[in-house]
Amino acid sequence: MKAIGEKHRSFLCTLYDDPSRTMNLFINYNLNQHLSGKEYWALLASSYQVGEEPGLQISFDELKCLWESKETDRDYLMCQNYLDKFKGFKFPLTLFRGMSREEKESSNYGFSWTLSFDVARKFAKVHHGFVGKTVLTESDKGQLIAYFNHRFEEEVIFLHTNHVISFVDID
């Protein structure tokens, strides 16, 4: 197992306050080569959760690559409460995503979904768009990466591939 050296640890601790810088290091400098699996997943989760703001310049494909990492100890992506909820998902599992008209028409849907129709509807209204809905079966379980609820959004990271998406009226 890789372990980060002490001289790098203090530098990495400052990254929690600058998610765009952290993501840049993940993408461009193979930050994961200097981290244990636990450190990789914990830093990625923290950077992602803090950095979900407009202006974070990272592409869907880049972030998908980070989520798909084969680093060990993926459970460290979530705190224990979120991990328990994630491991307890019952299938079929329905996910929702609020999206803009452009996203709907592109069929290039993001990976941040929610278990809550109301949360998705809120995002859809902000973006003057739509709510996408998909139903996952047990065989889709491998496309689920994490569950977060730090902003009470019941967010699920879902790396869909050619999944059937239907659309729900938001009113």
Tell me the pLDDT tens digit for each residue of 106-154. 888 888 999 999 999 999 998 878 899 999 988 888 889 999 998 899 9
With H, G, I as helix, E, B as strand and everything else as coil, classify residue 156: strand
Are residue 162 and residue 95 in the same domain, yes or no?
Answer: yes
65 within a domain of the structure (yes/no):
yes
Are residue 61 and residue 106 in the same domain, yes or no?
Answer: no
**End-of-domain residue from the set 27, 42, 77:** 77
Asked whether 3 and 40 are in contact (CB, 8 A), the reply is no
Which helix (H) or strand (E) segment holds residue 134: the answer is strand 130-136
**pTM for this predicted structure:** 0.80
Are residue 65 and residue 84 in the same domain, yes or no?
Answer: no
Asked whether 117 and 96 are in contact (CB, 8 A), the reply is yes
Higher pLDDT, 22 or 16: 22
Are residue 68 and residue 94 in the same domain, yes or no?
Answer: no
104 within a domain of the structure (yes/no):
yes
Asked whether 155 and 67 are in contact (CB, 8 A), the reply is no
Query: What is the extent of the structural domain holding 104?
Result: 80-168
As a whole number of Å, the end-to-end CA separation of the chain is: 51
